């Protein structure tokens, strides 16, 4: 549930919004003027604001400027008629989250609101770094005492106060966005916008216009000017997630941004100066992508001014009990339950697992276990049921107990966990490469030829899946 403020002098529109958003489970407040909207924000900052441009009294633009003084990270969606789009565009250039034309499509405004709420919360929700206990359980947190995590904390502390570009590396589910948010929140730009762009989630045909904006007539359907996210985040921070999958054509424009601190909208000739800090993240082997011509080498070096690497969970098993206690405490609090803790057997089972989905998989498993727990400390049986298939330990990567691959996939699909595709690809990728190494007696060159991979790609995957020790053991044996 989100707290939404509607600011419009049209009584009927406010009522319609109240009914619509209440039906979606949101708490709604309304204000009939820009002045009343400012007072409402000053009284209690909402998760998002939807505000008209033209109202009696001060305009929506003036009201937004005042709201920004109260809370610079408040996402505001501007409503406008076609004739006042230039004012809405000006508000977007000032940092408003987006604008929408009247009359608007209901699914469109609901989707935009969901994104705005998520963006606002990611800016304002603190990320606890290296903190444990009650303080950590009350917030998003980066947890761990291992040497690799201690080095990560030092890197965040050193890089955050600078304007250096940061590249966050790590497997899927290790917590790269949390690191990006921690860098932002400890930076000198922490009171400015923080915008997240997933380079995979947005289709290639839309990603360029999303990042850099466009002018009227730039392409079919471009009926007006659109300010891009880079320009919108001026003086703030942009987090480019999954940058390793960014198309080459857009990489060139990003390189220009990093070199010259300016952008051009699609279909435009005006060079627009911008002041943004870029934090990027990837789970890809960028060095291999450069060698294969899939990623620009000059951009790679521009991005890795500061590199922070998140270790996979299997490389820091000593941190798993800390994470288990954190997730159980946090989710129990969210569900209004007492923290049940975990039995020694359950904790041993959780610590022994390889967790191909890393911290995300561990958290999702514990949340599901809490939902279906019987009230006492989590048992090994409850953990196994929450995962959906028997836990695969680091000592026995297959862990299929004779179950067919199709049965395993069907069982996993029934679990409904987030990030399931990446998790299954990791799990079966681990199995395929392990079998190839066994078939070749641990010879990596032969295994690479068998799989149709280059040797560097195979080595990267061996390191990703933690197979190096197992392959070496077979060579020596």
The pair of three-digit structure tokens given for residue 56, joined into one six-digit string: 């009696």
**Which range among 48-57, 89-98, 193-202, 314-323 shows the weakest confidence by mean pLDDT?**
89-98
pLDDT at 20: 92
pLDDT at 409: 67
Looking up tokens 């279909």 gives 267
Average pLDDT over residues 195-213: 90
Which phi and psi angles does 331 have, rounded to 5°? -70, -35
pLDDT above 60: residue 401: no
Instruction: Report whether 204 contacts 316 (CB < 8 A).
Output: no
Q: What percent of the chain has pLDDT over 90?
A: 51
Q: Work out the pLDDT band at 408, boundaries 50, 70, 90.
A: low
CA distance linking residue 6 with residue 43, whole number of Å: 15
pLDDT at 472: 38
Which DSSP category does 245 fall into? G
3-state secondary structure of 109: helix
CA distance linking residue 12 with residue 16, whole number of Å: 6
336: Cβ contacts below 8 Å, ≥ 6 apart? none
Q: What angle do CA 412, 416, 422 make, to 5 degrees?
A: 65
Higher pLDDT, 392 or 32: 32
472: Cβ contacts below 8 Å, ≥ 6 apart? 442
**In 128-175, alpha helices (H):** 134-137, 147-159
The pair of three-digit structure tokens given for residue 7, joined into one six-digit string: 């600011």
Q: Strands of 166-169's sheet, edge to edge?
A: 194-198, 237-241, 277-282, 166-169, 306-309
pLDDT at 183: 96
Q: What angle do CA 100, 104, 106 make, to 5 degrees?
A: 110
CA 315 to chain centre: 22
Q: 311, 312, 290, 293: which is closest to 301 by C-alpha?
A: 290
E-assigned strand segments in 22-133: 27-31, 48-52, 76-80, 98-101, 127-129
pLDDT at 354: 82
pLDDT at 204: 83
CA distance linking residue 477 with residue 471, whole number of Å: 10
Instruction: Give strand pairing partners of 78.
Output: 51, 99
Task: Write down all domains in the chain, each with its CATH number in brackets.
Answer: 3-124 (3.40.50.2300), 127-311 (3.40.50.300), 313-396 (1.10.8.60), 419-477 (1.10.10.60)
pLDDT at 457: 80
pLDDT above 50: residue 399: no
Higher pLDDT, 148 or 224: 148
Q: What percent of the chain has pLDDT over 70?
A: 87
CA distance linking residue 123 with residue 191, whole number of Å: 9
Q: How many CB atoms lie within 10 A of CB 49?
A: 30
pLDDT above 50: residue 477: no
CA distance linking residue 445 with residue 366, whole number of Å: 40
pLDDT above 70: residue 83: no
The pair of three-digit structure tokens given for residue 269, joined into one six-digit string: 């000739």
pLDDT at 398: 43
Q: State the average pLDDT for the chain.
A: 85
**231-275, pLDDT tens digit by residue?**
999 999 999 999 999 999 899 999 999 999 999 999 988 999 999
Q: 183, 309, 208: which is closest to 265 by C-alpha?
A: 208
Q: Work out the pLDDT band at 391, boundaries 50, 70, 90.
A: very low
pLDDT at 77: 94
């Amino acid at each position: 549930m989100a707290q939404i403020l509607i600011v419009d002098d049209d009584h009927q529109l406010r009522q319609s919004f109240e009914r619509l958003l209440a039906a979606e489970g949101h708490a709604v407040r309304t204000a009939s003027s820009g002045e009343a909207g400012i007072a409402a924000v000053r009284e209690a900052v909402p998760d998002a604001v939807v505000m008209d441009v033209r109202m009696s009294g001060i305009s929506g633009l003036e009201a937004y400027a005042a709201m920004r003084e109260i809370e610079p990270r408040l996402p505001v969606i501007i409503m406008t008629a076609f004739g006042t789009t230039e004012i809405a565009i000006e508000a977007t250039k000032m940092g408003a989250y987006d604008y929408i034309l009247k009359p608007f499509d209901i699914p469109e405004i609901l989707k935009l609101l969901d994104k705005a709420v998520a963006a606002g919360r990611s800016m304002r929700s603190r990320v606890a770094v290296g903190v444990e206990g009650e303080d950590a359980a009350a917030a998003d947190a980066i947890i761990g005492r291992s040497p690799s995590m201690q080095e990560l904390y030092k890197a965040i502390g050193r890089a955050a106060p600078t304007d250096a570009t940061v590249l966050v590396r790590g497997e899927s589910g290790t917590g790269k966005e949390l690191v990006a948010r921690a860098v932002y929140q400890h930076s000198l730009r922490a009171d400015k916008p923080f915008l997240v762009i997933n380079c995979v989630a947005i289709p290639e045909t839309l990603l360029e216009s999303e990042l850099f904006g466009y002018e009227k007539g730039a392409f079919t359907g471009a009926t007006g000017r659109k300010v891009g996210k880079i320009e919108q985040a001026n003086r703030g921070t942009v987090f480019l997630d999954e940058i390793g999958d960014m198309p080459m054509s857009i990489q060139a424009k990003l390189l220009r941004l990093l070199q010259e601190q300016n952008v051009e909208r699609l279909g435009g000739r005006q060079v627009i100066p911008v002041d943004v800090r870029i934090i990027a993240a990837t789970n890809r082997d960028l060095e291999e992508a450069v060698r294969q011509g899939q990623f620009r080498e000059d951009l790679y070096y521009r991005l890795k001014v500061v590199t922070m690497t998140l270790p996979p969970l299997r490389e820091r098993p000593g941190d798993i009990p800390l994470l288990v206690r954190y997730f159980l405490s946090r989710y129990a609090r969210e569900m209004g339950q007492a923290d049940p803790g975990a039995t020694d057997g359950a904790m041993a089972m959780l610590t022994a697992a390889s967790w191909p989905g890393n911290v995300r998989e561990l958290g999702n498993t514990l949340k599901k276990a809490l939902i279906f727990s019987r009230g006492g400390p989590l048992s090994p049986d409850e953990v196994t049921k929450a995962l959906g298939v028997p836990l695969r330990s680091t000592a026995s990567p297959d862990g299929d107990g004779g179950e067919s691959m199709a049965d395993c996939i069907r069982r996993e699909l029934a679990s409904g966990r987030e990030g399931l595709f990446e998790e299954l690809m990791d799990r079966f990728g681990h199995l395929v490469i392990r079998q190839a190494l066994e078939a070749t007696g641990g010879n990596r060159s032969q295994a690479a030829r068998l799989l149709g991979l280059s040797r560097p790609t195979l080595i990267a995957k061996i390191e990703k899946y933690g197979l190096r020790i197992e392959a070496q053991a077979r060579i020596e044996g």
